[in-house]
A and B are shown apart, each in its own frame.
Chain A
Amino acid sequence: MFSTDYRLEIKKRDWLLMVRLFGEIDHHSAVSMREELDRIILKERPRRLVLDLSCIEFMDSAGLGLLMGRYRLMREIGGVLAITRPNERVLRILHLAGMERFIEIDGKA
């Protein structure tokens, strides 16, 4: 009941990879989310990865670590990471960490 289940939905178009995340991002879920995302990134090697956070109901600072890590991985493979549609709560924590300074954050899908 309280397990932090999550789900990913993946769409690919040419060099663009869209991943919509569902559920809660905390330290518990971030571990497997990270593994799954990295596997997809390294397989598809997109030039642009867009993480759609519109269906994330909860995120704490573990989510910041997760996003920073994917930002670094995308840079390593010569691509960029963008975040789209975070809710107000998620946006607040992104701003607290100043993530908008190096990751593109967009309100639209």
Chain B
Amino acid sequence: MKKLLFIYITVVICGCSNLSTKKSPELNEFITEFDDKPIEEIKEEVNKNIKQFESFTKFFDGSFANEIKKIGKEDERYESEFKIDTTGVSKSLLQFDNVIFSQEFEDYQSSLSFGFKNPEKRKPLELGQGVSQTFVPKKIYYHNKEVKTDSIANYEVDFIFSDNWGKAKIIDSVDVLFKVDYLKDYDVVEVSLENPVVNYQGGEIRLVKAQDNYAYVTLSDTIVSVTEMQAYNMDGKILDNSGSSNNGVAPDDSEDIFTEMLDYLKQIQKKLNNDDFKNTEEFQEYLRKNMKSLDFFHDNDGVFHKEYYYYGTVNSVKLYFAKETDTRETLFRAYNVKPFSNDDELFEMNTEDGLVFLNNKGETEISITGLDQGVAKIGGDFYEDNNYFYHLNRSKKSLDTLLVYDIMAFDNGLIGIQPEQKDDDITLFNSDNELINDKKYWNVREVGAILFGYRNEKWYIISAQGEERLVSGVSRVGDKLSDDRILVSNDSKYGFINTRGAIVIPVIYDDAKDFERGITAVKLGETYKLIDIRGKILLDTEEDDINFFGEDGDGNRIYKFGYGAKSYNYKGDLIEK
């Protein structure tokens, strides 16, 4: 942990960002890390870390293996011209109606990772050049009814990794503001070998050096930051970029920075090994006085240095500056993928001392030590690890091991258990591991948030209390709930039920699809018809076969019949060819 911090901070300090006045907090943070640490331990760590740092600097040497070299015409690589691409902007605003997040807890902190309910969608759409997307959390709705709006803007909405979202407390949902900033208009400034200096925005842009594949440009630090930089070769072709670095200090200096830093660290190491410091405070005082005087921390030249490497011989460089940007935004709500149904539900958290169970206020209710690996919650008070299933016994404050074949959790709070093997019937339990009814189901399935159970060749809707409601006259139940309708069938005919299990559209159709936006296609008699959620026929397509649905630009369904002969949009309007 500490080693990583050391390296991270050193890299950040020596790294490639413009540190003028912002350095001090980092420096201080670095120094305060040593508080309460015995000097012996510091000595040991520095000795170890210097070795790592040395190999690290070797990595940074030569700027990522980029060097000035001649690249022949046949090895040149090109890219396309910078262009504002806002085609995806409107579509991107519509993609957030089914966002979920999963929440994990460790060491009394909570972390969230976001995703989409549709498993095929992994992350938000990527947009073109000149467009930036940001997510700003606006409200956190905790399960204990608290709503937090302040100090949350910095929490990251990450669709790949999980990020820290504050103290451990169950979050039911989050309101997030999605902003798209896109370039509406931009300025282009070109510097070239013939014309290396250009004035812009009261500052100067200078092509200091262009040699073979290398371009070194400086910009006065009064100029706004560059959106994009592209290099052209002699024939006017845009060269592909192979590496770059942006510094607050001039290039030649940065290499010296590394060696200076390393020398300085070695000095510290020597002093530590000589026991020059009586205690940690003396050491910290020394650091405070000395690090500030390092050359590196002085960036006085008032200029941004940009070095770029390309796959080709650079002749000129175009810099694109944002002139006018526009913003579009939308607010969406993301839901916890494992919603808590009971108010007294607990959630597990791994800490250094063992496994801890917290209530939804974040208070510890049960603490279990002696488990060598973490458990994951299945649902309710049921947990699992790699080898066993467990039930949290609240009165005994322990985990009871359940020697069963499989346990599955349903959204309505019920738990299904197969006691011995794959082909077993499923019996239903509540969160307290009590049998909820005495029925054995051959199959239990959730459609939307409705729990269906199949036994004795009949389907039932099962409530959170285990009460059954027979879905009569139905032998198969579909797997999608939309517009309060679920597709069902009886032998060869189709119909629809609502979420209370009542057949609201009779089971008379020869074919039927799920509803979307209040409309679906069914086949009655010889032809396909479009109906609404009351079963009313909106139109007869006069076609006798249906093709796979298409999708329009916004992701809405397109109905296709007769091998494409006729297409209807999601509203049921005929699409003209």
Bound together: no
Residues of B within 8 A of A (CB): none
Residues of A within 8 A of B (CB): none
